């Protein structure tokens, strides 16, 4: 599968070009048809779980953060784990859409829309957790950098404030990047919709009167390039900033210079896994086999394997640094990670993130839809436990032994964590039914250019 | 004035990319001003951009201005807040430069991105309430189009002849 183009492109040589262009529109816009029973059933499950989470959150707001299982010194628990996990998931969306765009990696075209939407919805999910973790959520505006009544500004030396800037910038740029890419495709959906229907009005509004003129494409192409250029360093910075939330503290297990690259690699790793988790069922449900084939899966799998190796290396380096530093606290925390009360979480993390992905050295697994889906689920689980392990085990085993305690995740936290997945999938399910989940215009761009000579040859042949 | 802002004219429909480029070049050779020609394409192909030779998009200036404003805002916001509450702690300097770099970077990207999108909107003249008469819904699907703004019948006739000569599948007068 070394062919850099999609199956549609390969088959295009045997079809009239106009028909192929039309087929791309037909196939992708067919995903927007009236939802079926499967979609409705999934939505019902998602809404039920989300409902339970909302009830749990209301209970927490009414009763207080005590229901969340915090026990000193573990005052950052599952909510912060969820926050870091979802920010990490958000990461590879921009990697696939922006960085692979700049590298002209053509396999991104079929999957980048899914990964971009995943980014936006994952940041929306992550953004909930600082609010949930606050307890008194009605004071959320304290997070926003503006002066208080005594004209005292927030402290820009605090990594939490950097986080606010990093996450809000990432959300804004990712949303703009997603929307910009969507405009021409929404225009195609508008032109297909029944005039005066709800969808026609919706798509007319969202497509902003796009017509695909040479002038519009000229500005669009240039802007897309610059947006990709701006988003690329942003990808690397956001999770670096999130990692500094931990690395700037002196807690053993956190205070390490390796944290920024380690978190970035882990974020890309988990994000690629989530892209695979989303793409595999979507391809099957919408019959997109001609657009997403083993070539794309193989490339995503290679990216997963590469980032798994980086993460594995980072885990080993952490142990080396703990030993080489000579700090007994660092040594103790890493020994505790392997053998202590949270060793179960640590070993789940190693199994899912380091050992299971090694199966991807096999091309048969890399090109198997079923096994890739399974591996991606394991990686998602493993990356959640990585954050759990870093945050909770480190806090539970700080400097003074009399401080040590064991944090248990409460039912409220489990419910809200499950609800975060429901919230994410609710948006994703809505998205795939209302907006084109593949980039129509860019898919067509991958086809051989429509040239008169080829058209005449095809006509003669037919 | 660009053809995108005008109404009446002639529209040629094409199946292939090189025919569109030929049509634009033939129209320009025939004396039609570049501003009176609008090409519709379902794909953002660089081939077309190369063939019809238009100036580089000014969107890049918007990105530069936005990025610069972001850098300056990040620098001045952080430095100003440091000195607005100039409390020296532990003998360290009041202003922390590494911190300013983070905020400067984030605001550079943020404002650079916002200005870039604003540039696309301004220069592409969107949002627009309605599509122009030269547009056809199949231009977002499988066909290419060339719309020529014409002031009089003679010019319309000349444009139609050129479009026909370069192989337009259909030629229509639109108002």
Q: For residue range A312-368, what is the model confidence (pLDDT) as tens digits?
A: 999 999 999 999 999 999 999 999 999 999 999 999 999 999 999 999 999 999 999
Strand partners, A325: none
Q: What is the reported pLDDT for B5?
A: 46
Residue B65 structure tokens: 């201005």
* Chain A partners within 8 Å of B78 (Cβ): 156
Nearest to B112 among A180, A230, A452 (CB): A230
- CB contacts under 8 A, A 146-175 vs B, are 151-154, 156-157, 162, 165-166, 168-169, 172-173
From the CA of B76, how many Å to the nearest CA of chain A?
12
Residues B35 and B67 in one domain: no
* Chain A partners within 8 Å of B52 (Cβ): 214
* Buried b or exposed e, range A17-38, using 16+ CB within 10 angstroms: bbebbbbbbebbbebbeeeeee
Flag if A157 and B99 touch (Cβ within 8 Å): yes
Strand pairing category for B170-174 and B9-14: antiparallel
Under 8 Å between Cβ of A17 and A458: yes
Flag if A209 and B47 touch (Cβ within 8 Å): no
What stretch of H or E contains B148?
A: strand B144-149
Q: How does pLDDT run along chain A (462 residues), one tens digit per residue?
A: 334 345 555 444 445 556 688 889 999 999 999 889 999 999 999 999 999 999 999 999 999 999 998 998 999 999 999 999 999 999 878 888 888 888 888 888 889 999 999 999 999 999 999 999 988 899 888 878 788 888 788 888 889 889 999 999 999 999 999 999 999 999 999 999 998 899 999 999 999 999 999 999 999 999 999 999 999 999 889 989 999 999 999 999 999 999 999 999 999 999 999 999 999 999 999 999 889 989 999 999 999 999 999 999 999 999 999 999 999 999 999 999 999 999 999 999 999 999 999 999 999 999 999 999 999 999 999 999 999 999 999 999 989 899 899 999 999 999 999 999 999 999 999 999 999 999 999 888 887 666 666 666 666 766
Residues B113 and B69 in one domain: yes
Q: What is the reported pLDDT for B84?
A: 86
Question: pTM, whole model, 2 decimals?
Answer: 0.91
Q: What is the reported pLDDT for A452?
A: 67
Residues B114 and B140 in one domain: no
Q: At residue A268, what are phi and psi to the nearest 5 degrees?
A: -65, -40
* Chain A partners within 8 Å of B45 (Cβ): 217, 445, 449
Q: What is the reported pLDDT for A3?
A: 41
Select the residue from A120, A194, A226 to test the B interface by mutation, using most B Cβ atoms within 10 A: A226
Phi-psi region of B90 (alpha: psi -120 to 50; beta: other; left: phi over 0): left
- CB contacts under 8 A, A 347-376 vs B, are none
What stretch of H or E contains B170?
A: strand B170-174
The residues spanned by each domain of chain A are 7-141+153-456
Residues B24 and B78 in one domain: no
Flag if A208 and B140 touch (Cβ within 8 Å): no
Q: C-alpha angle with apex A282: A281 to A284, nearest 5 degrees?
A: 65
Q: What are the angstrom distances between the C-alpha of A33 and each of A30, A185, A202, A286?
A: 6, 15, 15, 10
What stretch of H or E contains B12?
A: strand B9-14
Under 8 Å between Cβ of B8 and B132: no
Flag if B127 and A209 touch (Cβ within 8 Å): yes
Domain encompassing residue B102:
59-124
Task: Give the CATH number, domain containing residue B38.
Answer: 3.30.70
**Rounded Cα gap, residues B9 and B11, in angstroms:** 7
**Rounded Cα gap, residues A324 and A331, in angstroms:** 9
Flag if B48 and A214 touch (Cβ within 8 Å): yes
Residues B69 and B32 in one domain: no
**Rounded Cα gap, residues B116 and B97, in angstroms:** 28
ipTM of the complex: 0.92
From the CA of B69, how many Å to the nearest CA of chain A?
14
Q: What is the reported pLDDT for B31?
A: 87
Residues B63 and B118 in one domain: yes
From the CA of B174, how many Å to the nearest CA of chain A?
16
**Rounded Cα gap, residues A52 and A350, in angstroms:** 31
The domain total for chain B is 2
Q: Searching chain B, which residue's CA lies closest to the CA of residue A154?
A: B81
Instruction: Write the DSSP string, A423-440.
Output: HHHHHHHHHHHHS-SS-H
* Chain B partners within 8 Å of A234 (Cβ): 109
Under 8 Å between Cβ of A77 and A70: yes
From the CA of A160, how many Å to the nearest CA of chain B?
12
Residues B17 and B45 in one domain: yes
Select the residue from B17, B19, B42, B86 to test the A interface by mutation, using most A Cβ atoms within 10 A: B42
Residues B46 and B63 in one domain: no
Q: How does pLDDT run along chain B (175 residues), one tens digit per residue?
A: 444 445 688 999 998 888 888 899 899 888 888 888 999 999 887 777 777 778 889 999 999 999 999 999 999 999 998 888 888 888 888 888 889 999 999 999 999 999 999 999 999 998 988 888 889 999 999 899 999 998 888 888 999 999 999 888 899 888 7
Distance of CA B7 to the CA centre of its chain: 20
From the CA of A131, how many Å to the nearest CA of chain B?
22
Residues B34 and B66 in one domain: no
Under 8 Å between Cβ of A446 and A296: no
Q: What is the reported pLDDT for A4?
A: 38
Under 8 Å between Cβ of B60 and A220: no
Homologous superfamily, domain A7-141+153-456: Formate dehydrogenase/DMSO reductase domain (1.20.1630.10)
- Taken in order A158, A164, A170, A176, is the CA torsion positive or negative? negative
Q: What is the reported pLDDT for A2?
A: 38
CA end-to-end span of chain A: 29
Strand pairing category for B37-40 and B170-174: unpaired
Q: Searching chain A, which residue's CA lies closest to the CA of residue B118?
A: A223
Flag if B106 and A169 touch (Cβ within 8 Å): yes
Flag if B119 and A223 touch (Cβ within 8 Å): yes
**Rounded Cα gap, residues A403 and A315, in angstroms:** 26
A174 secondary structure, DSSP code: H
């Amino acid at each position: 599968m070394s062919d850099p183009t999609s199956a549609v492109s390969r088959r295009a040589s045997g079809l009239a070009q106009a028909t192929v262009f039309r087929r791309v529109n037909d196939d992708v816009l067919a995903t927007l048809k009236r939802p079926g029973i499967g979609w409705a059933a999934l939505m019902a499950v998602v809404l039920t779980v989300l409902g339970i989470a909302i009830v749990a959150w209301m209970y927490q707001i009414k009763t207080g953060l005590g229901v969340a299982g915090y026990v000193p010194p573990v005052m950052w628990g599952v909510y912060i784990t969820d926050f870091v996990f979802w920010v990490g998931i958000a990461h590879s969306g921009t990697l696939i859409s922006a960085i692979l765009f700049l590298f002209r990696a053509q396999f991104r075209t079929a999957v980048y829309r899914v990964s971009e939407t995943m980014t936006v919805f994952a940041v929306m999910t992550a953004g909930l957790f600082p609010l949930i973790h606050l307890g008194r959520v009605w004071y959320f505006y304290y997070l926003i950098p503006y002066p208080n009544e005594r004209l005292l500004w927030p402290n820009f030396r605090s990594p939490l404030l950097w986080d606010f800037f990093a996450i809000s910038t990432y959300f804004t740029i990712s949303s703009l990047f997603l929307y910009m890419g969507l405009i021409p495709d929404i225009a195609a959906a508008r032109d297909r919709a029944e005039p005066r229907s709800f969808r026609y009005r919706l798509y007319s509004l969202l497509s902003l009167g796009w017509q695909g003129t040479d002038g519009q494409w000229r500005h669009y192409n240039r802007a897309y390039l610059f947006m990709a250029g701006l988003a690329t360093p942003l990808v690397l910075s956001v999770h670096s900033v999130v990692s500094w939330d931990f690395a700037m503290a002196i807690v053993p297990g956190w205070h390490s210079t390796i944290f920024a690259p380690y978190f970035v690699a882990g974020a890309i790793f988990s994000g690629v896994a989530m892209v695979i988790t989303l793409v595999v069922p979507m391809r099957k449900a919408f019959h997109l086999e001609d657009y997403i084939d083993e070539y794309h899966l193989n490339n995503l799998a290679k990216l997963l394997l590469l980032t798994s190796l980086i993460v594995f290396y980072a885990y080993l380096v952490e142990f080396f640094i703990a030993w080489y530093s000579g700090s007994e606290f660092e040594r103790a925390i890493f020994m505790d990670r392997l053998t202590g009360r949270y060793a179960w979480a640590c070993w789940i993390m190693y199994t899912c993130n380091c050992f299971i992905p090694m199966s991807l050295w096999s091309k048969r697994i890399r090109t198997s839809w079923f096994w890739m889906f399974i591996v991606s689920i394991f990686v998602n689980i493993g990356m959640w436990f990585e954050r759990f392990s870093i945050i909770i085990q480190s806090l539970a085993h700080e400097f003074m032994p009399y401080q040590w305690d064991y944090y248990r995740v409460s039912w409220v936290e489990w419910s809200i964590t499950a609800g975060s997945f429901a919230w994410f999938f609710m948006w994703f399910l809505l998205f795939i039914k209302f907006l084109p989940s593949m980039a129509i215009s860019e898919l067509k761009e991958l086809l051989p250019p429509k040239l008169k000579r080829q058209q005449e040859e095809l006509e003669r042949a037919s | 004035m660009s053809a995108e802002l005008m109404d009446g004219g002639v529209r040629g429909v094409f199946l292939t990319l090189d025919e569109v480029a030929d049509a634009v070049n033939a129209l320009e050779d025939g004396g039609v001003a570049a501003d009176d020609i609008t090409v519709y394409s379902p794909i953002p192909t660089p081939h077309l951009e190369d063939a019809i030779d238009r100036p580089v998009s000014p969107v890049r200036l918007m990105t530069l201005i936005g990025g610069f404003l972001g850098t300056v805002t990040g620098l001045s916001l952080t430095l100003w807040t440091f000195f607005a509450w100039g409390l020296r702690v532990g003998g360290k300097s009041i202003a922390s430069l590494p911190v300013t770099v983070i905020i400067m970077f984030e605001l550079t990207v943020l404002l650079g991105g916002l200005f870039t999108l604003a540039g696309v909107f301004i220069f592409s003249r969107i949002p627009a309430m309605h599509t122009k008469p030269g547009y056809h819904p199949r231009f977002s699907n499988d066909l290419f189009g060339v719309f020529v703004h014409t002031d009089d019948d003679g010019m319309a006739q000349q444009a139609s002849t050129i479009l026909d000569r370069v192989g337009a599948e259909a030629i229509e007068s639109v108002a």
